[in-house]
C-alpha cells in the first residue's frame, strides 16, 4: 500500500535553509533564515506539535545536521558573507561547542550520529567534494566525493552513507548517486530527475529523496526511492537462455557459464 503525507503541527517560526534530524515523533529543527534574519532558533517535535528548545550558539542558515532529538549535531553554515566551521552538539536541552569542521562550508549535507557524523559536499566560494568524519570530539578527512557539488542531499551512516543530487555550476544539475563505505565513495544508480536543494532520509539500502529545484522543471514535488536492484528471477533466467539458444549458442554451456539452471 502506498504511503501518503498528512498535515503535522506547524513550526513556531517560519523559515528556510534550516537543518534537522531525529524521527517523526522526536524531531529537531534548527537554524535557518526568515527573509530578514539568520536564526539560532531550535524547535522540538513530539509527533504533534513543535516546542521551543535551546537556541544554537551561532545563528546561521544553510547548515547541516544529523543525530537525534536528544543527541543532535549541527555543523557548517552561512551568515551574510561568512562561512562557518562551527559545530554544536545538542543534549535535549542546550547546544554546546564541538570540534570545528576542517573546511568552512554551506549548502552541504550530512548523515550519521552525534558521535559518528559525516559531512560532505557544499560550497565555500568553490564547489566542494571533501568529506569529513566526526568522532564526537573532532573532524577528520574522509574520502572525497567523485563529483564536487552543492545543494545535494544525503542519508545513512558514517560507514554506509548515501549522497545524491546537487549541482556543480549555476545550472548544472546532477543525478549522480554515490555510496560511502567509511573510506571511499563509489558511483551507483542515478536519480531519475536531476535537481539540487532537495532533501533525503533513510539508509544506504533504503533511501528517500524528495523535493528540490531544477531550472528546466522549476520547484519539484518529486519523490524517489533508492534500493538494491530486483533479483534475477527464474523467469528472467529462462528468457535469457532461450534468447542465447535461438542465437545458436548451446543452452547447457551458457547456463553453466552464467551459473544458471538449464532452461526446461
Question: CATH number of the domain that 22 lies in?
Answer: 2.40.128
Whether 112 is in a domain gets the answer no
Q: Are 247 and 170 part of one and the same domain?
A: no
Q: Are 165 and 97 part of one and the same domain?
A: no
Exposed, middle or buried: residue 45 (CB in 10 Å: 0-12, 13-18, 19+)?
Answer: buried
Q: Are 74 and 158 part of one and the same domain?
A: no
Task: Identify the domain containing residue 172 by its residue range.
Answer: 142-229
Whether 190 is in a domain gets the answer yes
Q: Are 184 and 263 part of one and the same domain?
A: no
Whether 157 is in a domain gets the answer yes
Q: Are 153 and 224 part of one and the same domain?
A: yes
Say which residue the cell 570530539 belongs to.
Answer: 137
Q: Are 236 and 221 part of one and the same domain?
A: no
Q: Are 200 and 248 part of one and the same domain?
A: no
pLDDT of residue 258: 45
Task: Give, rounded to a whole angstrom, the gap between the first and last alpha carbons of the chain.
Answer: 36
pLDDT of residue 233: 60
**Cell triple for 259:** 551459473
pLDDT of residue 6: 87
Whether 134 is in a domain gets the answer no
How many Cβ atoms from other residues are within 10 Å of residue 218's Cβ? 7
Measured CA to CA, the distance from residue 213 to residue 197 in angstroms comes to 6
Q: Are 210 and 236 part of one and the same domain?
A: no
Measured CA to CA, the distance from residue 190 to residue 102 in angstroms comes to 29
Q: Tell me if 77 sits within 8 A of 122, measured CB to CB.
A: no
pLDDT of residue 244: 46
Residues of the chain with pLDDT below 50 are 237, 239-241, 243-244, 249, 251-264
Say which residue the cell 535461438 belongs to.
Answer: 246
Whether 160 is in a domain gets the answer yes
Whether 209 is in a domain gets the answer yes
Q: Are 148 and 210 part of one and the same domain?
A: yes
Q: Are 14 and 96 part of one and the same domain?
A: yes
For residue 132, what are the CA distances in angstroms to 64, 112, 123, 135? 13, 12, 14, 10
pTM for the model: 0.86
Measured CA to CA, the distance from residue 105 to residue 155 in angstroms comes to 18
Whether 58 is in a domain gets the answer yes
Q: Are 220 and 239 part of one and the same domain?
A: no
Domain tally, the chain: 3
Whether 12 is in a domain gets the answer yes
Last residue of a domain, one of 106, 131, 153: 106
Cβ within 8 Å of residue 187, ≥6 positions away: 146, 176, 177, 178
Measured CA to CA, the distance from residue 225 to residue 155 in angstroms comes to 12
**Cell triple for 257:** 557459464
pLDDT of residue 26: 95
How many Cβ atoms from other residues are within 10 Å of residue 69's Cβ? 19
Angle formed by the axes of helices 234-246 and 251-258, nearest 10°: 140
Residues in a beta bridge with 177: 164, 188
Q: Are 154 and 212 part of one and the same domain?
A: yes
Amino acid at each position: 500500500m502506498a504511503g501518503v503525507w498528512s498535515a503535522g503541527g506547524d513550526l513556531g517560526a517560519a523559515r528556510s535553509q534550516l537543518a534537522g534530524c531525529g524521527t517523526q515523533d522526536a524531531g529537531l529543527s534548527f537554524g535557518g533564515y526568515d527573509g530578514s534574519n539568520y536564526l539560532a532558533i531550535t524547535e522540538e517535535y513530539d509527533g504533534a506539535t513543535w516546542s521551543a528548545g535551546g537556541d544554537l550558539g551561532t545563528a546561521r542558515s544553510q547548515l547541516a545536521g544529523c543525530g537525534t532529538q536528544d543527541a543532535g549535531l549541527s555543523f557548517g553554515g552561512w551568515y551574510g558573507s561568512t562561512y562557518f566551521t562551527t559545530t554544536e552538539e545538542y543534549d535535549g536541552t542546550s547546544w554546546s561547542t564541538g570540534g570545528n569542521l576542517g573546511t568552512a562550508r554551506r549548502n552541504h549535507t550530512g548523515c550519521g550520529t552525534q558521535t559518528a557524523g559525516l559531512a560532505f559536499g557544499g560550497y565555500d566560494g568553490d564547489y566542494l567534494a571533501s568529506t569529513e568524519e566526526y568522532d564526537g570530539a573532532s573532524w577528520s578527512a574522509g574520502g572525497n566525493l567523485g563529483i564536487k557539488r552543492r545543494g545535494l542531499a544525503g542519508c545513512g551512516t558514517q560507514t554506509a552513507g548515501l549522497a545524491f543530487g546537487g549541482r556543480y555550476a549555476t545550472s548544472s544539475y546532477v543525478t549522480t548517486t554515490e555510496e560511502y563505505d567509511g573510506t571511499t565513495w563509489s558511483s551507483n544508480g542515478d536519480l531519475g530527475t536531476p535537481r539540487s536543494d532537495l532533501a533525503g532520509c533513510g539508509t544506504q539500502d533504503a533511501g528517500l529523496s524528495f523535493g528540490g529545484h531544477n531550472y528546466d522543471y522549476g520547484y519539484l514535488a518529486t519523490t524517489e526511492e533508492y534500493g538494491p536492484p530486483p533479483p534475477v528471477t527464474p523467469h528472467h533466467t529462462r528468457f535469457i537462455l532461450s534468447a542465447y539458444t535461438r542465437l545458436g549458442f548451446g543452452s547447457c554451456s551458457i547456463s553453466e557459464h552464467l551459473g544458471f539452471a538449464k532452461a526446461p
